[in-house]
Structure 1
Amino acid sequence: MYLGLDLGTSGVKAMLIDGDQHVIGSATGSLDVSRPHPGWSEQDPAHWIAATEEAVAALKAAHPAALAAVRGIGLSGHMHGATLIDADDKVLRPCILWNDTRSFAEAASLDADPRFRALTGNIVFPGFTAPKLVWVKNNEPDIFARVAKVLLPKDYLRLWLSGEHISEMSDSAGTSWLDTGKRAWSSELLAATDLQEGQMPRLVEGTEQAGTLRAELAAAWGMQPGVVIAGGAGDNAASACGMGTVAEGQAFVSLGTSGVLFAANGSYLPKPESAVHAFCHALPDTWHQMGVILSATDALNWHARVTGRSAGDLAAEVGDHLKAPTGVTFLPYLSGERTPHNDAKIRGAFIGLGHETGRAELTQAVMEGVTFAIRDSLEALKSAGTSIGRVTAIGGGSRSRYWLASIATALGLPVDIPADGDFGAAFGAARLGLIAATGADPLAVCTAPKTAETVEPVLALTSAYDEAYHRYRALYPAIRGI
């Protein structure tokens, strides 16, 4: 048996699979996000441990024999988080999360140093880890002076699980300290933020062994000693392992809290000025590109809170059959935006409201706004040299056939829906645990699921969608200065 642990923004998911990759069971421990000031987003790492224990306890209650047979554990987690620990491995402050934008000035300053784009292959985004450390140095110097290690969120879980300071390539590529082409920490970039390589965890590939489970935890969970922990992956790379998106030409679109258009690459293809992320993949000698938008289902959830309806009710009110855009446009920049704008200060807007506009039209506009933001990512990927012929849809938003038809039509690409099953980050993490524990061929393990259905572009609405997209594109520069 193999266990995948996925540390998400809203919870920790634990998934058990067997050696044939059949899902035995899964469970979740819940998490909350603290937003003490505008633009801030934090979590207490102690809550990650509590949520993991909650999820594993539920698995143990439901599948005690299967949990006892675990031989490998894989880790996945939300990227870019700054988890700061002292020389005694004590947490110094709440983790600054991926969607925290307080360090936008520090990010701009680092990005102005040409070494960062040249070595990392990426813009220094405010959500990345390095500018957060500069912010801490500037605003919490006593804490900065005590930092012994900087860990990404899933790697703090690894520290608790194994007692070791280890990370891997896919997650570390999102820090702005990794030489992404060489797959190694850059002492030059670390020095530019007054840090040293000794303050970073040791690096391995996502498929490699990266510690073993502490004896006391193994005993508490009913496992045998020596359970291997894999290097694991950042959440999007782990989802790609779960979806089998690991070879050149494969791609997926994720409609989760954030939105991602992810393409696997057989070589390193950076183009930072496009605001496309060029990161290491979880498998050795592979890379990936992705466009990232900060609010996908989060935009629909915001609309649900404002209207007092559930997101599911709002989606049902729109229906399943795609309609032409109404003229109401939504810009989904509720937390700023990454691809293609790299703008932490921009905020969302409804444009084109009239007396005839109702709740359903607003919901349709929210979905279309997220769709057009994903098309922005597609255009950016094209400019970076990546060609995509079709995408597979994952994430909670992919349950909406309307949304998928909207994406297919806006992108001009078929959207595949995988057969029933959970092929997300927790499953990908469990696959990495299997590979690390058994030495199996990663490409033989990380295969794609069967396609249950394909949503094709609605050709009759292509021109209407193109017109609406160009209207959407014109709005960002129009509102940027106000």
Structure 2
Amino acid sequence: MLALTYGCIMYLGIDIGTSAVKVIYTDGTAILASATADLTVQSRRPGWSEQDPGAWWTATCTALTEVSATVPLSSITAIGLSGQMHGAVLLDAHQAVLRPAILWNDSRATDDCAALHTALPEIGTIAGVLPLPGFTAPKLMWMAREEPDTHARIAHILLPKDYIGLCLHGALATDRSDAAGTLWLDQATRGWSVDAAQATSTEPHWLPHLADGHEIVGQVTQQAADQTGLPKGIPVVAGGGDAATGAVSLGATEPGRGFISLGTSGQLFVAGDAYHPNPAKFVHAFAHTVPNRWYQMAAMLNGARPIAWLAGQLGISAGDVVALAEAADPTRVPIFLPYLTGERSPHGDPHIRAGFFGLEDSTDRAGLCRAVIEAVAFTFADAVDSFGETITDLPHLAALGGGSKSPFLLTLIASATDKRIARTAGSDAGPAMGAARLAACGLGAMSLSDLGQQPKIADWFDPIADPALEDRLRRYRMLYLTLKDLR
């Protein structure tokens, strides 16, 4: 079958995640080959989360080599990029990396967020959300204060996927959806805010060129071709932050379409055609990666990450955690707060941390696993509540990300949120597929309206009335309120 498709137009989607780089080879509809290369996160101090941008490029090259063993890279006609948002990649005048990238789940700039809100009270309306330490701009304030020598050498700032773009095509560019997550973008005008930059120890000329996600921003250079095996000259589109490219993979570019994402972090995303900020609830109102579109999003820092965390502590796989959770006695399950790295939506609380409550002498591994799985579902229940009535009329929420592989987790989320959940085929490759579809649009093989086409639903997960689950959700919320002031 693959041999028959080699003559067709093929696209590459590259997604720079937190735990892995994923590369897919597709005709824009079906994934014909894919590969992942793992990444690690460094935490040199409590609350810190960093990665070496060079590791992203190494992982990208590794994944491309694996893909090339199955399909010819010579058939690729365009490349789209996706990636984790908010990371601060700092470059000097020679475009060399100055220090490890500070990631989206880093909480060192907490004090700087308060200072920014004081200095620029309207920042929530400009940037679409109130300052939180995971965003890019407060990190620059921290840099100016704590690493002034490095800050003085900054000449350029990029986001994670855009550093891979630099390695591929040599240009300094980003798309508006990724720029939206920096706090430097004026969401209403979709351009850089000079006021926000100047309030955060950032020179406006450090910021990259802005483009929409389907716009071509460069071509693969000879150096990149030599390192990756990609043909020189292939166009590369700007792509998008992982939330926006995930939306593109599901056709959530049209108003009133929504989905949940279950990666390392979690998102509840609803597309719209106007800018509607709601900063008080820490619901993000951001520019989409396509023109004349915005979205509202609840962003949970922990997503499916607690499942991987518990798997590591128990020495088992994430799949084993889910299997044990299904086997647990639901009447003997403790409560778990999943806030391993604080929380963004709806609490805006970088200080809260994770913990179990209600452990008994009889609590076993299955009970711990069930508590963690339920907590992931409960974060989405909180997210749905934070949207208020704006989400009431959505007929269903699509699901994507690695966590969407679990029917048990999706059923729990449906029950906790009282929302029908849909899963499409290939849902775990969402952002990479969205990036590839943007590449197809950049070549003219798809129109912007084509990006609104929704994939076929493979599975439905309906809410199940469960008074015991509702009671545990109530206790979960009470536990946060009781503990949130502890430091």
| Cα distance in structure 2, aligned partners of 1:343 and 1:383 | 24
| Cα distance in structure 1, aligned partners of 2:216 and 2:346 | 36
Query: Among residues 441, 446, 450, which one is paired with 1:444 in the alignment?
Result: 450
What secondary structure is seen at the aligned counterpart in 2 of 1:34?
coil
What is the 5 A alignment of 1:96-175?
96-112=102-118, 113-175=120-182
What secondary structure is seen at the aligned counterpart in 1 of 2:48?
coil
What is the 5 A alignment of 1:82-481?
82-112=88-118, 113-218=120-225, 221=228, 223-319=230-326, 326=332, 328-382=334-388, 387-420=393-426, 423-438=429-444, 440-459=446-465, 461=466, 463-481=467-485
In the other structure, the counterpart of 2:35 is 27
| Cα distance in structure 2, aligned partners of 1:31 and 1:178 | 29
Counterpart AA for 1:213: V
Consecutive unaligned residues in structure 1, runs of 5 or more: none
Counterpart AA for 2:408: Y
In the other structure, the counterpart of 1:6 is 15
CA change 1:15–1:385 in 2 (3 A) is closer
Tell me by how many angstroms 1:428 deviates.
0.8
In the other structure, the counterpart of 1:47 is 55
Tell me by how many angstroms 1:237 deviates.
0.8
Deviates more, 1:178-187 or 1:21-30: 21-30
Tell me by how many angstroms 1:440 deviates.
2.7
| Cα distance in structure 2, aligned partners of 1:87 and 1:386 | 50
Consecutive unaligned residues in structure 2, runs of 5 or more: 1-9
| Cα distance in structure 1, aligned partners of 2:210 and 2:416 | 39
Tell me by how many angstroms 1:69 deviates.
2.0
Superposed CA offset, 1:326-371 (max 9, x none): 4621111111000111111111121122233222122111111111
| Cα distance in structure 2, aligned partners of 1:449 and 1:325 | 38
Query: Among residues 39, 61, 64, which one is paired with 1:56 in the alignment?
Result: 64
Tell me by how many angstroms 1:402 deviates.
1.7
CA change 1:248–1:423 in 2 (3 A) is farther
Superposed CA offset, 1:294-343 (max 9, x none): 113211122222223322112112328x9756462111111100011111
| Cα distance in structure 2, aligned partners of 1:73 and 1:98 | 24
CA change 1:384–1:419 in 2 (3 A) is closer
Instruction: Report the TM-score when normalising by structure 1.
Output: 0.94
Percent identity, aligned pairs only? Answer: 41
| Cα distance in structure 2, aligned partners of 1:304 and 1:139 | 35
Tell me by how many angstroms 1:190 deviates.
0.6
**Given that residues 325 and 465 in structure 1 are in contact (C-alpha distance below 8 angstroms), is that contact kept between their aligned partners in structure 2?**
no
Tell me by how many angstroms 1:177 deviates.
0.6
**Given that residues 243 and 423 in structure 1 are in contact (C-alpha distance below 8 angstroms), is that contact kept between their aligned partners in structure 2?**
no
**Given that residues 245 and 251 in structure 1 are in contact (C-alpha distance below 8 angstroms), is that contact kept between their aligned partners in structure 2?**
yes
Tell me by how many angstroms 1:443 deviates.
2.5
Are residue 15 (structure 1) and residue 15 (structure 2) matched? Answer: no
- Equivalences, count: 476
Query: Among residues 63, 67, 71, which one is paired with 2:77 in the alignment?
Result: 71
**Given that residues 280 and 287 in structure 1 are in contact (C-alpha distance below 8 angstroms), is that contact kept between their aligned partners in structure 2?**
yes
CA change 1:133–1:325 in 2 (3 A) is farther
| Cα distance in structure 1, aligned partners of 2:47 and 2:26 | 38
Tell me by how many angstroms 1:193 deviates.
1.6
| Cα distance in structure 1, aligned partners of 2:90 and 2:288 | 25
Counterpart AA for 2:439: G
| Cα distance in structure 2, aligned partners of 1:29 and 1:2 | 19
Tell me by how many angstroms 1:125 deviates.
1.1
| Cα distance in structure 2, aligned partners of 1:24 and 1:205 | 27
Deviates more, 1:170-179 or 1:110-119: 110-119
Instruction: Report the TM-score when normalising by structure 2.
Output: 0.93
Tell me by how many angstroms 1:243 deviates.
1.8
CA change 1:220–1:373 in 2 (3 A) is closer
| Cα distance in structure 2, aligned partners of 1:383 and 1:329 | 28
Tell me by how many angstroms 1:385 deviates.
6.8
Counterpart AA for 2:476: Y
Tell me by how many angstroms 1:131 deviates.
0.5
What secondary structure is seen at the aligned counterpart in 1 of 2:69?
helix
